[in-house]
Amino acid sequence: MKIALAQINPTVGDFAGNVEKILAYAEQAAQAGARLVVFPELALCGYPPADLLEKHDFVARARIAAGEVAVWTAEPGRPAVLCGSVLATSAEIGKQVWNAALLIDQGKVQFTQHKMLLPFYDVFDEQRYFEPAKTQLLTELDGQPLAITICEDAWNDKSFWPRQMYPLDPVEELMKQWESLSESAKARPRVILNISASPFWHGKQDVRREMLAALARRHGAYVAMVNQVGGNDSLVFDGTSLAVRPDGRVAAHGASFVEDLVLLDTDADAVAPGRPLESETELTWKALVLGTRDYVRKCGFAKAVLGLSGGIDSALVAAIAVEALGAENVLGIGMPSEYSSLGSIEDARALARNLGIRFELLPIHQVFAQYQQVLDPLFAGTRFGLAEENLQSRIRGGLLMAISNKFGALVLTTGNKSEMSTGYCTLYGDMVGALAVIGDVMKLRVYKLSEFANREREVIPRATIEKPPSAELRPDQKDTDSLPPYDVLDPILEAYVERYWSAERIAEEQGVDLALVRQVLKLVERSEYKRQQAAPVLKVTQKSFGMGRRFPIAVKVQV
Amino acid sequence: MKIALAQINPTVGDFAGNVEKILAYAEQAAQAGARLVVFPELALCGYPPADLLEKHDFVARARIAAGEVAVWTAEPGRPAVLCGSVLATSAEIGKQVWNAALLIDQGKVQFTQHKMLLPFYDVFDEQRYFEPAKTQLLTELDGQPLAITICEDAWNDKSFWPRQMYPLDPVEELMKQWESLSESAKARPRVILNISASPFWHGKQDVRREMLAALARRHGAYVAMVNQVGGNDSLVFDGTSLAVRPDGRVAAHGASFVEDLVLLDTDADAVAPGRPLESETELTWKALVLGTRDYVRKCGFAKAVLGLSGGIDSALVAAIAVEALGAENVLGIGMPSEYSSLGSIEDARALARNLGIRFELLPIHQVFAQYQQVLDPLFAGTRFGLAEENLQSRIRGGLLMAISNKFGALVLTTGNKSEMSTGYCTLYGDMVGALAVIGDVMKLRVYKLSEFANREREVIPRATIEKPPSAELRPDQKDTDSLPPYDVLDPILEAYVERYWSAERIAEEQGVDLALVRQVLKLVERSEYKRQQAAPVLKVTQKSFGMGRRFPIAVKVQV
């Protein structure tokens, strides 16, 4: 059977737009001779809809949208559509909706499979919304049996994972049913379809490929996973849909970070041509570009503005923004204080020139002086300190927001994950913005991504990459005045923030002084309040700040 | 049996402090002659610990803390302790911890009951963390059978709720087991214990009382619910522990919003003396006071600072802060602009005088003028608008944060729920702060609470209560320039934000023009990005902004 895998980029809640997109891809699949075209999980409403699922209207609109797809399939010769959507349950007990896969053919929904395994860890809250499937059944199309699963349903293979998260394995259950099929059906290739909305993080593509190959080999089946593509708030879905043959070799694969349609023919014996492996740095770059583009556009904006300090973080974000939105849509603002070096301003200007973006210089020292004058009745006799440092950062935030309000450009936040982890950032200052583009990128990775940005020509000035990092909020300030060097700091932070290691384990495994480790971990604990008021962070690691990491603020935590 | 209900105020993660508190209350219970003293759900670690539950150290510390309580019970004559804690599971599949009730007596844990029903709606994420109990068993103490349940386990009675959330009813299951007890055990009174961490919202106390009475009558049992008290981030637990007799009458009740220890004697036939009912306004006031006090103190602070505009919202928050922290710990800052009326400054000053707090005046027009000068290269030729309005608000935010940083006082945010719903508030401006004290209080309720604040003498000046609400960000501005009057607006917002009604239903049931309703709902939809960067909001309704209301930002939602 010729099956088209259509990885589309839906917008959450945009039923009209999503249906239009689905029908356009279904049309392409028809032209390519597919009998079935498969779309991602919850493709009709977009993933993740979150608490929109609790609104009756929303669920009703999804039903209408499914009807529109059904109408399209009514015309003879058109392929069947397998598509994810939300469905109201009829049950008197439990949650009110299902996460469903609808097999739509010849004008109506021929078969429905509900999702059985509902993830509820990290960024996933599916048990909050969905009633789990009670049964998992094989269906068929033109005599070809199909095992239809939804995302997590294929992620609980006991022979692949060291620890199972759920007692059930829907794939195993489906494969058992194969035995009781008619002889003619049994003679057909085994086909497992998986509709997914599986967000990107470093290394995830490898996990998916290995897992799907293991599943294919274990069950002697074709496994075809269709994954959503696109950014939705913090999450970036990479697509990278994949069809694996029963021998574990790749039969077809979708592109990463763009919409795509690829064909799997389960009656042919094709192996997909190999493709050059992309480095994790390149994948992360693409994730950040797509996440930025989709956030800005799905929020109804075209333009972005950001502060350019001459430092590497803002330079990298500017480079990402230009690739995401086009140079004509990015505005860079230099906001030097009396502590800014001349070099920094020149570096910012050179960056803007290299990127071809507009650059404006708005010095902040006069506003700062005026603030100090107003505060003098309260501050007289106190020493220059944190209040004054943060104030400079907040003046910059105020200027960026004024420009944003005036010209309708979203502010991009430029802080990295090392800063967000340690609280080395100013709430309402450099943390202002609609989106924290590199808030899930530790400083050492910021360097790698900056080198990637310069892969064809120098975009980020060499001086920006090579000078010692500084916030430039007091004379001769360096990051290393307050923090250990990043090659010591980042591994500590990764272990604590992403893997929840204890101080003792970090000190031992990383060969770092325990007192230093504790000092860093205390910074993390003390800055939780800042992170809870941060802009959405584009997630590119297994554990990023935001919805997937939920810590209380008013606590007494021992580190 | 004499059972003491000990509603304590734990701090999340403070095992040493929580154990100390538990033992102090256990000592009191011993002196009162109790055979058993019951503490709230997860009392050893505090509720809600959120993702701290995913840290091995945290779970290990809870085990040590339970051991310390066990040691205390070893001494002859001391009561048994029933206490909530987190326990590592031994299971190979599923989640790694249980939410457990430990019955500790004579130096060791005699019985453990895991929580079976794990709430995962609104602010609750328990399925994210906990493995559900597989069995629910009766236990006994000195021959008295005890049915031990944990919070939600008692909240699924099919004869009480119109819709059950779970297929199982642990209480029913336990009561069935009563039949198979020995004759002597069966002759004892039926006793259902429930350890809870049940947060406050308008009307919740009535729901609990009615539900527990229905449970008692249905099963012919004493039902004793011990509820946590205290503020933990957004949630305020009201205590109000309750013991109900088999006939549904109240046998004992704990106070609201303070720690308390009350006794239930299941062999006596006592009825608790009636107590004056508190109005919802009074309960909300107390919730906000406790929530503010605990947030500030559990964050390690003593002092608070806030902007006093002369308006009613900031006046109310100041009055709450003074009751929570003491007048000597509250600093009010007036920050008039050129659009502020003289009356506003006088009202703010009068409020500060009435409250006995320090008041400082920091005019913002010079800083504003300086900002405008800096922005002139970009803004020249544009009209005074949103950018300039917000800028004034952001200057105020910057001043408050500078004072906060300088003097170690938390900033209290003064916006109300009507503003947060419609986005009639400035991100990084009046939204700055550590805690949004009245962020779950609609404007009409702000008036009621302000009258309550004045119950004994005029604290909030009459002029502040009576003048038309205004943000004073442009000449002669009034809230009604942009919004319908609050007696029309608030019901629309409550229906949409708290009950998820459609525009059509709101227009019909409230007799309001559909176009106006849609216009309001669009404001709600367009301001989600602001709410996601808001300070934690003290929850006092069934649906407040924050963790219990999770909506995406980059969406296309039809209203």
DSSP characters for A273-329?
A: PP-PPPPHHHHHHHHHHHHHHHHHHHTT--EEEEE--SSHHHHHHHHHHHHHH-GGG
Instruction: Answer yes or no: do A363 and A263 share one domain.
Output: no
Residues of A in contact with B50 (CB under 8 A): 550-552
> At B374, is the secondary structure helix, strand, or coil?
helix
The residue among A47, A303, A368, A557 with the most chain B CBs within 10 A of its CB, best to mutate, is A557
Strand-pairing partners, residue A105, are A108
How distant, in Å, are the alpha carbons of A123, A232, A391, B370 from that of A395? 33, 30, 6, 11
Q: Write down the mean pLDDT value for chain A.
A: 96
For A306-350, what is each residue's pLDDT tens digit?
999 999 999 999 999 999 999 999 999 999 998 888 889 999 999
- Domain assignment present for B500: no
pLDDT band for A470, please (50, 70, 90 cuts).
confident
Range of the domain at B153: 2-268
Same domain, yes or no, for B421 and B449? Answer: yes
Same domain as B211, residue B311: no
CB proximity list for B24: less than 8 A, separation 6 or greater: none
CATH no. for residue A40? 3.60.110.10
Q: Does one domain contain both A433 and A290?
A: yes
User: Do residues A212 and A308 both lie within one domain?
Assistant: no
Give the number of C-alpha atoms closer than 13 A to the C-alpha of residue B392, restricted to the C-beta side: 22
In sequence order, what are the beta bridge partners of B195?
A: B150, B226
pLDDT digits (tens, 9 = 90+) for A74-108: 999 999 999 999 999 987 889 999 999 999 999 99
Q: A360 touching B, CB under 8 A?
A: yes
* Alpha-carbon span B67 to A436, nearest angstrom: 44
Please judge whether A402 and B387 are an interchain contact, meaning their C-beta atoms are less than 8 angstroms apart.
Answer: yes
Is A44 part of a structural domain of the chain? yes
Average confidence (pLDDT) over A214-218: 97
Band of residue B76 on the pLDDT scale cut at 50, 70, 90: very high
The identity of residue A246, as a single letter, is: P
The answer to the question of residue B521 being in a domain is: no
Nearest residue of B to residue A336, measured between CA atoms: B374
Report the pLDDT value the prediction gives residue A474, as an integer from 0 to 100: 82
pLDDT value of residue A427: 98
Maximum distance among all Cα pairs of chain A, rounded to whole angstroms: 91
Region A548-559: mean pLDDT is 96
pLDDT digit string, tens, across residues A298-308: 999 999 999 99
Q: Do A406 and B379 touch (CB under 8 A)?
A: yes
Distance CA B101, CA B226 (A): 12
- Above 90 in pLDDT, residue A463? yes
Q: Specify the length of chain B in residues.
A: 559
User: pLDDT tens digits for A367-387?
Assistant: 999 999 999 999 999 999 999
Residues of B with CB below 8 A from A549's CB?
51
**B43/B14 Cα distance (integer angstroms):** 10
Among B237, B268, B299, residue at a domain's last position: B268
Query: Is the CB of B555 less than 8 angstroms away from the CB of A379?
Result: no
The predicted pLDDT at position A270 comes to 85
Q: What is the nearest CA distance from B379 to chain A, expressed in angstroms?
A: 8
pLDDT above 70 as % of chain B:
100
Q: Does A371 touch chain B (CB under 8 A)?
A: yes
**pLDDT per residue as tens digits for the range B10-30:** 999 999 999 999 999 999 999
Q: Does A553 reach chain B within 8 Å, measured CB to CB?
A: yes
Instruction: Place B339 in a pLDDT band, splitting at 50, 70 and 90.
Output: confident
**Residues of A that are catalytic:** 41, 115, 151
Do residue B338 and residue B225 come from a single domain? Answer: no
Inside any domain, residue B257: yes
Would you say residue B501 has pLDDT above 90? Answer: yes
Q: Does A13 touch chain B (CB under 8 A)?
A: yes
| pLDDT of B448 higher than 90 | yes
B55 touches chain A (CB under 8 A): yes
Q: What angle do CA A455, A460, A462 make, to 5 degrees?
A: 95
Q: Which of B12, B427, B550 sits opposite A555 (nearest CB)?
A: B12
Tokens at residue A163, please?
């620890």
Q: Which of B92, B163, B362 minimises the CB distance to A375?
A: B362
- Domain with B332 in it: what CATH number? 3.40.50.620
A2-16 pLDDT tens trace: 999 999 999 999 999
Q: Which of B548, B542, B540, B544 is closest to B287 using CA atoms?
A: B540
Q: In terms of domains, do A258 and A293 share one?
A: no
Reduced to 3 states (helix: H, G, I; strand: E, B; else coil), residue A401 is helix
Residue A216 near residue A242 (C-beta atoms within 8 A)? no
Q: For residue A296, what are the contacts with CB-CB under 8 A and spacing of at least 6? A: A302, A303, A304, A324, A325, A410, A434, A435
Please indicate, yes or no, whether residues B342 and B249 belong to a single structural domain of this protein.
Answer: no
Can you tell me the mean pLDDT for B422-438? Answer: 98
B119 lies in the same domain as B154: yes
Give the domain-ending residue among A214, A238, A267. A267
Both B204 and B346 in one domain: the answer is: no
Domains in chain A: how many in total? 2
Residue B333 inside a domain? The answer is: yes
Return the active site residues of B. 41, 115, 151
ipTM (interface predicted TM): 0.96
**Does residue B512 sit within a domain?**
no
Domain boundary among A445, A478, A511: A478
**Beta strand pairing status for B108-114 and B97-105?**
antiparallel
pLDDT given at position A483: 87
Report the share of chain A in percent with pLDDT over 90.
92
Asked if the model's pLDDT at residue A129 lies above 90, the reply is yes
Are A245 and A325 contained in the same domain?
no
Question: In chain A, which residues have their Cβ closer than 8 Å to the Cβ of B517?
Answer: none
B183-192, B396-405, B428-437, B462-471: segment of lowest average pLDDT: B462-471
For residue A529, the chain B residue with the least C-alpha distance is: B434
Q: Is residue B34 part of a domain?
A: yes
- Collapsing DSSP to helix, strand or coil, B393 comes out as helix
B452 at the A interface (CB within 8 A)? no
- Asked if A156 and A248 sit in the same domain, the reply is yes
Task: Report the C-alpha gap between A536 and B97 in whole angstroms.
Answer: 29
CB contact under 8 A, A398 and B403: no
- Is A234 domain-assigned? yes
Q: How far apart are CA A284 and CA A296, in angstroms?
A: 18
Measured between alpha carbons, how far is residue B263 from residues B29, B31, B101, B211, B243 in Å?
8, 12, 20, 21, 9
> Rounded to an integer, what distance in angstroms lies between the CA atom of residue A490 and that of residue B292?
35
